[in-house]
Amino acid sequence: MTSEAALRPTTRRASQRRSRRRTAYAGYIFLSPWLLGFFALTVGPMIASLVLSFTDYDLFTRPEFIGFENYTRLLQDPSFIRACKVTGTYVLIGTPLKLGVSLAVAMLLNNRHRLRGFYRSAYYLPSLIGGSVSVAVVWKAMFVDYGVVAEIGRLFGGDGKGWVGNPSLTLPMLILLTVWQFGAPMVIFLAGLKQVPSELYEAAMVDGAGALRKFVSITLPMLSPVLFFNLLLETIHAFQIFNSAFIISNGTGGPARSTLFYTLYLYFKGFRDFEMGYASALAWVLVVVIGVVTAVLFRSSNAWVHYSGDAK
């Protein structure tokens, strides 16, 4: 009897381990379609592109290993430097403007009125179709010579010329397009505003705080996690702009290369000039840049992002 009692805990533990293993196996079986897709369609191509970035490859002949030549060539490529400047300008100007407009509209829609559901749907609609080819085509038609925008400008003394062929206006036109598609961050801001306790505003009102003071001292700190989330996503999306730039520039990079975005230049080198090794190096530089920017944002968030559970 004593030996049987001593064996029971050991048998029970062995049975529990077998049960946990069966549960783990079942989980991996259910995850296997995603894991296969992840390794075959994401990890595999990434490793292949990393290897190709050290080769001279034109898609038709066998890759030839050339070491770091593709990477050293970047700093001597004026088109690469131009693409970095255009993309950097777009990210630094377009992202803050988009977030500012989305936050302002979210605060307006946070007020109670009968048609707020309709307005929320209407303002979110551009984001549903955002990034599509059809939107870029319509946007381009609005800004061509004697288009809608040019005709409105002519009413106020303009010459009827559009923005598409003007090197100084094509980039602002694309920035306006991304700002117009503010629906997604607006909805996230609106959800964050719903979580701000109304007691804070009531206490601030009793203390005589005005609208600006309440916004700076209550709204922004309480929305800082949501603001950080939107900033992170929109910054990454801005680096990846392609469809609208390709359509509006007719696949050329725009007049005077004014819309030669990084992804557009990468596409040209890979699928127009068939320099796939150089294009792979461009892609990995973009991955590293986005990773560094993301790390900097996370690092800086310690100073301005405030969570409810923080003890400071």
Q: pLDDT digits over 119-154, tens only?
A: 777 777 777 766 668 888 888 888 888 788 888 888
Alpha-carbon gap, residue 303 to 84, rounded angstroms: 28
Residue spans of the domains in the chain: they are 2-41, 78-304
User: Is the CB of residue 273 less than 8 Å from the CB of residue 253?
Assistant: no
Band (pLDDT 50/70/90 cuts) for residue 77 is very high
Alpha-carbon gap, residue 261 to 263, rounded angstroms: 6
Alpha-carbon gap, residue 238 to 82, rounded angstroms: 16
Amino acid 171: pLDDT: 93
Residue 1 pLDDT > 60: no
Neighbours of 171 (CB within 10 A): 21
Largest interatomic CA distance in the chain: 104
Amino acid 97: pLDDT: 96
With H, G, I as helix, E, B as strand and everything else as coil, classify residue 98: helix
Neighbours of 249 (CB within 10 A): 22
Please identify, in words, the CATH class of the domain defined by 78-304: mainly alpha
Q: What residue type is assigned to position 95 of the chain?
A: T
Amino acid 133: pLDDT: 80
